[in-house]
Chain A
Amino acid sequence: MLKNYIKVAFLVLMRRKFFTFISLFAVSFTLIVLIVVSAVFDHVLSPVAPEVNANRTLGIYWGEMKGPESTSNGNPGYGLLDNNARNLPNVELMTIFTEASPAISYIRGQKIVSLMKHTDGEYWQILQFNFLEGSPITTEDEKNANFVAVINKSTKEKFFGKESAVGKFIEADNQNFRIVGVVEDVSQLRYSAYAEMWVPISTKKDPGYKTELLSNCTALLLAKSASDFPSIKAELALRMANFQFPAEFKNEYKNIVCFADTPLEAFSREIFGSTEVNPKSSRLVAIALGLMVLFMLLPAINLININISRILERSSEIGVRKAFGASSWTLVGQFIVENLILTLLGAIIGFIGSILVLQIINHSNFLQYASFQINYRVFFYGILTTIFFSLLSGVYPAWQMSKLNPIEALRGGGLR
């Protein structure tokens, strides 16, 4: 039965090539857009190297101080995190590091800007970088303020070409660092891991960072497991509620908050500006899905129109089948299968097309070191989307078809 449907489906596709072309164009274009978008989301939010522990990691990305007249918010500062976020329950490791900021070097009259992160030793244990040579910055390096640096592959090539870099020196922002390791490039969209050069936080020119409440730091907390998240969040909230402001801020600010979030929670906190302990990340997912369906609406109506046209063309065939006793449900089933085959064909073209589009984006250097890939998760989303789209565009025409009057249909008449 199914084999027969498939055979008929291919015969129909071959009969009117122009219609087949338009349908495939519509399906594959729609899927290209959706697959590219899901590849980008996957790239930003999924647990891939170096964030291999992402599913049991929380981050403190944002804080806010409030007073009677002033409000100030942004990344937390080292002082706030160091004094309040250490030794939270069920946290195995904690790291504090700065945002990547430009550090300038001049080599042979040329200027090289490297985005530099100041980190501690734990950073390299929570995030598992892929080392091409050498080794990470250690806790000892941070304690003793050793002038050592880890750089990424592209930066190594800018400074030293093909030669090995470990043991050599690099001057950045007028400070001289000995290179201890070279890592694989990390995408600009991976907030915690992205940088081009990493150095111990204790080598900062000015020691004032140690007392800052809000500045440019982030903390990552590696929990024993994801089930410990609620207790960690609760304890952090409690500590924030009992926070005592130092003398110089006492008059201006009365309370302070910061939160331990998963990447998705942090993202929705940024978008909705929520200051609850658990931001509603499900709302963000719902909005994203809603936008996807909205985007599919026009292609779906387009395909519905084409499908109805094709059905009208086949009305005599349908009339014959009805006259010989095929039930409406059989016909609906047949048409839905036919449409599914068409959309799956479109999906194949769509996947090939999205690989091309992603390659173009990767090579355009628009986002640094970003390499969007179609992995099994994206493939799965793509297939799911295809089936949903197929039903969206196939059910209404199929229902219309099953309603055709057999006598009218045999004469080649159509819908009113």
Chain B
Amino acid sequence: MIKQLFKIVWNRKRANFLIMMEILISFLVVFLVMVFGIYFIDIYAYPLGFTYKDVWAINIDRGAYNPNEDKTKQLEVVKQLIQVAKDFPEVEAVAGINVIPFDNGEWRTGFDFAGKNYSPAINLVTDDLSQVLGIKLLEGRWFNKEDDTTKEMPIIINQTLSQALYGSESPIGKVFSPGESGRLYKIVGLVSDFRDDGELVELKLYMFERLNLNPNPNPSPAELETMRSLNNLAVKLRPGTPAVFEEKLAKAFLSIAKDWSFNIQTLEDIRYKRMKKTLAPILAAAIVAVFLMIMVGLGLTGVLWQSVTQRIKEIGLRRANGATRGKIYYQILGELLVITSIALLVGTIIVIQFPLLGFLDFVNAKVYIITLLVSWGLISLLTLVCGFYPSNLAAKIPPAEALHYE
């Protein structure tokens, strides 16, 4: 039966080749759109590691960098800003943070560990951040006053980094040197994750370093330099705080630092903008792909229909020789299935080359296999729907009429 089908398909190879090409390219289009869609669905599912509800991000613009500016005074102003914000009854907590979640910027630090080089994203934050963003720890503790006196720099890492450095061992209390002379990192806490690029960016190595706004009475130039990079505050508001509070807060800030500018945004807004930027091109591609598939579907239906009317003689002969309607029906569908399978096979071979060539290599094997299965399913469904009406038409051909056609 199957051998017979292949023979029929082979006999009409020229007409079938073009249909096969059409299905093959449709498969590639569907695959490329689906691979992005499924990739994003997959990484969206991982926990974010913090909550962004009722949190405002305030960017501090201190103007152009000037090597001779009075950094000690600037630090005092930042501390005043934090205190002023905390004093409002609408505010639950305030923290300093170097890189705002969902924002495009990123900081990385590089170090050698056990002979391998790592470059995790790093964020400098103050003690109150866990309160502002509701960060939960898996093990250990968040930064606090205890850290004031330790000579090692306290850090908190995420699970991905912990896995990379220590495998399944607990990282708490471990001390290592990041390479710079005299500096030692001490891991005090482990968080499941802190996805500061949002839900649509791959998991990455991540660590927090403690930013101490009350260093010893005479902070070193390096410490002050670090403070200079503190350009963002995160403010947690009481639920239900009206938007007009923003003006009150901004006025209060500007009365302290007249020469600075402040840009206040909700984290929700920043997240939305970032997501829109990532998803808009994929959405546009998906809309185009849907229309392409409608077009292919209509075209395929037309071509199959035409080929059935052309083969009335052949089908009539089969019917006269005792083939049932069902057999004719399944013959036409079967032929289509053979063409589709060949197209899908070729398509799969092409698609498997992509990661080997370094294209789409950010996608893991799980996503790749799911995408393959979904694309196979969608294309098979499309061709079956297209073949339904023409096969029905063929099955209904009465043998007598068909034979006398000539």
A299 to B291, CA, bound (A): 11
Of A104, A208, A248, A298, chain B has the most CB atoms within 10 Å of the CB of: A298
**Contacting pair B247 A111 (CB below 8 A):** yes
Q: Mark A17-37, 1 if CB is under 8 A from B, else 0.
A: 011011001100100010000
Most central of A109, A305, A308 by chain B CB within 10 Å: A305
Contacts of A298 in B (CB 8 A): 22, 25-26, 29, 292, 296
The 0/1 profile, CB within 8 Å of A marked 1, for residues 1-34 of chain B is 0000000000110110011011001100100000
A366 at the interface (CB under 8 A from B): yes
CB of A213 to closest CB in B, whole Å: 11
Contact B302 A18 (CB under 8 A): yes
Per-residue CB proximity of A296-320 to B under 8 Å, as 1/0? 0111011111101110110000000
Contact assessment for B262 and A104 in the assembled complex, using a CB-CB cutoff below 8 Å: yes
Whether the pair B29, A415 counts as a contact (CB closer than 8 A) is no
The verdict on A244 contacting chain B, using a C-beta distance below 8 Å, is no
User: Taking CB as reference atom, which chain B residue is nearest A294?
Assistant: B25
Identify which of B58-66, B208-216, B358-366, B395-403 touches chain A.
B58-66
Q: Give a binary string over B51-84; 1 marks a CB under 8 Å from any A CB, 0 the rest.
A: 0000000000011111100000000000000000
Q: Which residues of B lie under 8 Å from residue A74 when comparing CB positions?
A: none
Closest to A32 in B: B291
> CA–CA, A18 to B254, complex, Å?
69
Does the CB pair A414–B310 fall under 8 Å? Answer: yes
Query: Which of A106, A208, A313 contacts B65, CB < 8 Å?
Result: A208
Q: How far is the CB of B130 from chain A (nearest CB, A)?
A: 29
Which residues of A173-209 have CB atoms within 8 Å of chain B's CB atoms? Answer: 173-174, 204-209
A155 adjacent to chain B (CB < 8 Å): no
Q: Which residues of B contact A109 (CB under 8 A)?
A: 244, 247
- Given known pairs A19-B302, A109-B247, A298-B29, the reply for A25 and B295 (CB within 8 Å) is yes
- A22, B406: Cα distance in complex, Å: 29
Chain A 209-220: CB-based contact to B (< 8 A → 1; otherwise 0): 101100100000
Q: Is B338 an interface residue (CB 8 A)?
A: no
**Given known contacts A205-B259, A298-B22, A215 and B64 CB-to-CB distance under 8 angstroms:** yes
Contact indicator A208/B22 (Cβ below 8 Å)? no
CB pair B260 A305 closer than 8 Å? no
List which B215-274 residues lie within 8 A (CB) of chain A: 243-244, 246-247, 250, 254, 258-264
Within the complex, the shortest CB–CB distance from A159 to chain B, in Å, comes to 15
Question: What residue of chain B has the Cβ atom nearest to residue A249's Cβ?
Answer: B67
CB-defined interface of A75-114 with B at 8 Å, one 1/0 digit per residue? 0000000000000000000000000001110100101000
Chain B residues with CB below 8 A from A313, complex form: 306, 309
Task: Give the residues in chain A near B184, CB-CB below 8 Å.
Answer: none
Number of interface residues of B (CB under 8 A): 48
Complex contact A174–B306 (CB within 8 A): no
Residues from chain B with Cβ under 8 Å of A33 in the complex? 288
CB distance from A157 to the nearest CB of B (A): 21
Option from B25, B62, B64, B254 in Cβ contact (under 8 Å) with A301: B25
A411 at the interface (CB under 8 A from B): yes
Docked CA distance A299–B292 (Å): 8
Q: Which chain A residue lies CB-closest to B21?
A: A301
User: Are A305 and B299 in contact, CB atoms less than 8 angstroms apart?
Assistant: yes
Contacts between chains A and B (CB distance < 8 A), count: 109
B299 and A22 contact, CB distance less than 8 A:
yes
The total of chain A residues at the interface (CB under 8 A) is 45
CA distance A373 to B110 in the complex (A): 49
Assembled-state Cα–Cα distance A22/B301 (Å): 10
Is A162 interfacial (CB 8 A cutoff)? no
Contact B264–A104 (Cβ < 8 Å): yes
Inter-chain contact B22/A309, CB cutoff 8 Å: no
- Say yes or no: is A15 at the interface (Cβ < 8 Å to chain B): no
Would you call A416 an interface residue if the criterion is a C-beta within 8 Å of the partner chain's C-beta atoms?
yes
With a cutoff of 8 Å between Cβ atoms, the chain A residues found around residue B254 in the complex are 174
Interfacial chain A residues near B310, Cβ < 8 Å = 312, 414
B123 to chain A, nearest CB (A): 21
- If A33-B288, A298-B292, A415-B14 touch, does A305 touch B250 (CB 8 Å cutoff)? no
Q: Which residues of B contact A301 (CB under 8 A)?
A: 18, 21-22, 25
Q: Choose from A25, A111, A208 the contact partner of B298 (Cβ within 8 Å).
A: A25
Q: How far is the CB of B32 from chain A (nearest CB, A)?
A: 11
B63 touches A204 (CB 8 A): yes
Tell yes or no: B303 within 8 A of A by CB: yes
Interface hub of A204, A205, A209, A411 (most chain B Cβ within 10 A): A205
Q: Residue on B with the closest CB to A396?
A: B18
Assembled-state Cα–Cα distance A22/B259 (Å): 65
Chain B residues near A414 (CB-CB < 8 A): 310
Main secondary structure of the interface of A (DSSP, over half): helix
Q: Which single residue of chain B is at the shortest CB-CB distance from A21?
A: B298
Collect the chain B residues with CB atoms within 8 Å of residue A209's CB.
63-64
* A25→B262 CA distance, assembly (Å): 53
Q: How far is the CA of A78 from the CA of B189 in the complex (A)?
A: 44
Q: Contacts of B21 on A, CB cut-off 8 Å? A: 301
Do B260 and A205 touch across chains, with their CB atoms under 8 A apart? yes
Report yes or no: B25 in contact with A297, Cβ–Cβ below 8 A: yes
Q: Mark B335-366, 1 if CB is under 8 A from A, else 0.
A: 00000000000000000000000000000000
A29 touches which of B18, B64, B295 (Cβ 8 Å): B295
Asked if residues B18 and A305 are in contact (CB atoms below 8 Å), the reply is yes
Which residues in B have their C-beta under 8 angstroms from that of A297?
25
Asked, given contacts A206-B259, A208-B64, whether A26 binds B295 with beta carbons under 8 Å apart, the answer is yes
Q: Does B307 contact A (CB under 8 A)?
A: yes
Interface: B114 (CB within 8 A): no
How distant is B294 from chain A, measured CB to nearest CB, in Å? 8
Closest to A211 in B: B64
> How far is it, in angstroms, between the C-alpha of A313 and the C-alpha of B307 when the chains are bound?
10
Determine the chain A residues whose CB is within 8 A of the CB of B65 once the complex forms: 208, 212
B302 and A104 contact, CB distance less than 8 A: no
* The residue from B14, B247, B291, B299 contacting A306, defined by CB atoms under 8 A apart: B299
Asked if residues B250 and A306 are in contact (CB atoms below 8 Å), the reply is: no
* Residue in A closest to B66 when the chains form the complex, CB atoms: A208
Interface residue B280 (Cβ < 8 Å from any Cβ of A): yes
Interfacial chain A residues near B292, Cβ < 8 Å: 29, 298-299
Instruction: Tell me the nearest residue of chain B to A295, going by C-beta.
Output: B288
Hey, which chain A residues are within 8 Å of B296, CB to CB? Answer: 298, 302
Chain A nearest CB from B289 CB (Å) reads 10
CA–CA, A104 and B67, complex, Å: 28
Known: A25-B298, A215-B64, A366-B280. 7 other contacts (CB 8 A): A26-B295, A29-B292, A104-B261, A174-B254, A208-B65, A208-B66, A248-B67
Give B residues with C-beta under 8 Å from A: 11-12, 14-15, 18-19, 21-22, 25-26, 29, 62-67, 243-244, 246-247, 250, 254, 258-264, 280, 288, 291-292, 294-296, 298-303, 306-307, 309-310, 406
Chain A residues in contact with chain B, CB under 8 A?
18-19, 21-22, 25-26, 29, 33, 102-104, 106, 109, 111, 173-174, 204-209, 211-212, 215, 248, 297-299, 301-306, 308-310, 312-313, 366, 411, 414-416
Would you give 29 A-B contacts (Cβ < 8 Å), ordered by A?
A: A18-B302, A19-B302, A19-B306, A26-B298, A29-B291, A33-B288, A104-B264, A106-B250, A111-B246, A205-B258, A205-B260, A207-B64, A209-B63, A209-B64, A212-B64, A212-B65, A248-B67, A298-B25, A298-B26, A302-B296, A302-B299, A305-B22, A306-B299, A308-B303, A309-B306, A411-B406, A414-B310, A415-B15, A416-B12
Closest 7 CB pairs of A and B: A206-B63, A208-B64, A309-B306, A302-B299, A106-B247, A22-B298, A109-B244
